Chains A and B, each alone.
Chain A
């Protein structure tokens, strides 16, 4: 008597054949199709897409089942598995519709969790700005756009398995967002949103940056509330402190921790000096000597004002350079011109300061001193003109397709100066 397998085992083996599995796939397609009958919404469209893909898998499996070799057999089974998996997904999606929330759970310590905190904080800030109808300066807007860019870059880094770089970029984005929010609050003279929770899960290394940020922005807010006490010296030191802060955050994002310490120390020191100057500065609105100031005090104040001008010019040059880098086709050439413009502007301003000082000291009017003063003024003008030339050349490189060559530009600006 020939050997006979038990009936149940035979049925089970039958179900494991490709044909049986294809039948299973076809019947599941039918079941899922029934579940969305008469529905026209986002979910049913998604499920329909899954059904369509499962049908494709089913057809491919059928074609492969016609050949009796291992490779086709494997492909047949693989496609059936895909198809069934897609339908499982579809069923799960239909089920999850009933649940109130079904979020992917990221653990608190993960980069993904922190990335969600960043995106949440960005939106919170955006909503607060829109709700309060805040005026947002171009530089703050650029800052916010830059933070969104950092968020995207951090995800790219995450995808390429560069975990540490990604985490640092997210932390840097959060710190910059906090700074941007403080700037906007100062610009609008009101508190708009509480972002203090962003520090809760921050790294230990970012704590000194937080401390320096709070110190400089608390003082900035005080200056904004009491502008008469915010002398150019105070503002110039504060500008320097915040500039160092930005550079420290940049260094942090690049894992250059030694540089962070150095920059944060300088930033804190500048803020401390600014705070001292702020405390000792009398609340005055006018700078003319008639208001009780001596000529010496006026001179000092004008000198501070020149420092402030130099600092503001430099900051704007940096903003512009950051903006055009990797965007303009001749960005490196333009950046060189912008560096030169900054250098000439600074030299011209310092020469102007020297001329002002010489004028104050030369009340005795000896012809020799007057000659020196005239020469100093002339040098200041030449340097300022050079700054104009380099700035114009940078403009040509960045924005004009057919700007004047450098030599022509110098000639034209010299002619303009003579006419004015």
Chain B
């Protein structure tokens, strides 16, 4: 595998500046959103913030490559959060505010499990009803 090129301090600085600014803008927009507080965006912001902090720490410890990569990771989180926020803004303005939830935080697994168990139970009951019907038909003969 090819080794990654060492970024210059200037490149690291540029990336840090860009990501930090994007994150600040996202946080600001997210905090001023009144129609919905999406937990996934909140966790994207949190993750990006942690990554940025690690990027700064790495830089101050002289690890420019690590800092550069960490800032890149922070961007992935922040950009995802921004895209969700923008998509939901569109749905809020143009649509019916019927949002598709992409986070499992809002989907309690117990509810889904209960639903699946119910469906499975119904399938067995259907089979048992068929068997019972066959038994009844047979006893009538």
A residues with a Cβ closer than 8 A to B are: 41-43, 45-46, 78, 82, 85, 88-89, 92-93, 96-97, 102-104, 106, 112, 115-116, 119-120, 122-123, 126-127, 129-131, 133, 136, 138, 141-142, 144-145, 148-149, 151-152, 155, 158-159, 163, 309, 312-313, 316-317, 319-320, 323-324, 327-328, 341, 345, 348-349, 352, 355-356, 359, 365, 370, 373-374, 377-378, 380-381, 384-385, 387-388, 391-392, 394-395, 398-399
Chain B residues in 8 Å Cβ range of A377: 131, 134-135, 138
Tell me how far the C-beta of A420 lies from the nearest C-beta in chain B, rounded to whole angstroms: 8
Question: Is there an interface contact between B20 and A89, defined as CB atoms closer than 8 Å?
Answer: yes
Chain A residues in 8 Å Cβ range of B71: 104
Task: Give complex CA distance A191, B16 in Å.
Answer: 40
Question: Is there an interface contact between A327 and B76, defined as CB atoms closer than 8 Å?
Answer: no
Chain A residues in 8 Å Cβ range of B124: 341, 345, 348, 384, 387-388, 391
Contact of A127 among B15, B90, B137 (CB under 8 A): B90
Chain B residues in 8 Å Cβ range of A398: 110, 113, 117
Question: Is there an interface contact between B112 and A142, defined as CB atoms closer than 8 Å?
Answer: yes
28 examples of A-B residue contacts, CB within 8 angstroms = A42-B27, A43-B24, A43-B25, A89-B13, A92-B17, A104-B18, A104-B71, A112-B76, A123-B87, A130-B100, A131-B91, A136-B100, A141-B107, A145-B103, A149-B104, A155-B47, A155-B76, A159-B51, A316-B119, A324-B109, A324-B113, A349-B127, A352-B127, A352-B131, A377-B135, A381-B132, A388-B124, A391-B117
* B-side interface size class: 35 or more
Question: Which residues between 108 and 141 of chain B lie within 8 Å of chain A, taking CB atoms?
Answer: 109-110, 112-117, 119-121, 123-125, 127-128, 130-132, 134-135, 137-138, 141
Question: Is there an interface contact between A381 and B100, defined as CB atoms closer than 8 Å?
Answer: no
Contact flag A345-B127 (CB < 8 Å), given A142-B112, A399-B110:
yes
Question: Is there an interface contact between B128 and A323, defined as CB atoms closer than 8 Å?
Answer: no
Number of A-B residue pairs at CB separation under 8 A: 200
Question: Is there an interface contact between A144 and B100, defined as CB atoms closer than 8 Å?
Answer: yes
Tell me how far the C-beta of B136 lies from the nearest C-beta in chain A, rounded to whole angstroms: 10
Task: Give complex CA distance A387, B47 in Å.
Answer: 44
Question: Is there an interface contact between B73 and A158, defined as CB atoms closer than 8 Å?
Answer: yes
Question: Is there an interface contact between B102 and A119, defined as CB atoms closer than 8 Å?
Answer: no
Task: Give complex CA distance A126, B102 in Å.
Answer: 8
Question: Is there an interface contact between A327 and B21, defined as CB atoms closer than 8 Å?
Answer: no
Contact of B120 among A97, A320, A324, A381 (CB under 8 A): A320
Tell me how far the C-beta of B41 lies from the nearest C-beta in chain A, rounded to whole angstroms: 12
Task: Give complex CA distance A149, B14 in Å.
Answer: 30
5 further contact pairs, Cβ within 8 A, besides A116-B76, A159-B51: A93-B21, A112-B73, A127-B91, A158-B69, A352-B131
Task: Give complex CA distance A138, B111 in Å.
Answer: 11
Q: Which chain B residue has the least Cβ–Cβ distance from A97? A: B21
Summarize A's interface: helix, strand, loop or mixed.
helix
Tell me how far the C-beta of B14 lies from the nearest C-beta in chain A, rounded to whole angstroms: 7
Chain A residues in 8 Å Cβ range of B28: 41-42, 45
Chain B residues in 8 Å Cβ range of A148: 40, 102-104
Question: Is there an interface contact between A399 and B13, defined as CB atoms closer than 8 Å?
Answer: no
Contact flag A395-B117 (CB < 8 Å), given A131-B95, A381-B135:
yes
Chain B residues in 8 Å Cβ range of A141: 100-101, 107
Chain A residues in 8 Å Cβ range of B116: 138, 316, 319-320, 323
Contact flag A309-B87 (CB < 8 Å), given A43-B21, A148-B40, A398-B113:
no
Contact of B100 among A106, A126, A317, A392 (CB under 8 A): A126
Chain A residues in 8 Å Cβ range of B135: 374, 377-378, 381
Tell me how far the C-beta of A394 lies from the nearest C-beta in chain B, rounded to whole angstroms: 7
Question: Is there an interface contact between A359 and B134, defined as CB atoms closer than 8 Å?
Answer: yes
Is B60 on the interface with A (CB-CB < 8 A)? yes
Task: Give complex CA distance A158, B102 in Å.
Answer: 22
Task: Give complex CA distance A155, B70 in Å.
Answer: 10
Task: Give complex CA distance A156, B123 in Å.
Answer: 40
Tell me how far the C-beta of B30 lies from the nearest C-beta in chain A, rounded to whole angstroms: 10
Task: Give complex CA distance A155, B76 in Å.
Answer: 8
Contact of A313 among B70, B104, B120 (CB under 8 A): B120
Question: Is there an interface contact between B138 and A373, defined as CB atoms closer than 8 Å?
Answer: yes
Question: Is there an interface contact between A126 and B73, defined as CB atoms closer than 8 Å?
Answer: no
Task: Give complex CA distance A225, B114 in Å.
Answer: 32
Question: Is there an interface contact between B98 and A133, defined as CB atoms closer than 8 Å?
Answer: yes
Tell me how far the C-beta of B66 lies from the nearest C-beta in chain A, rounded to whole angstroms: 10
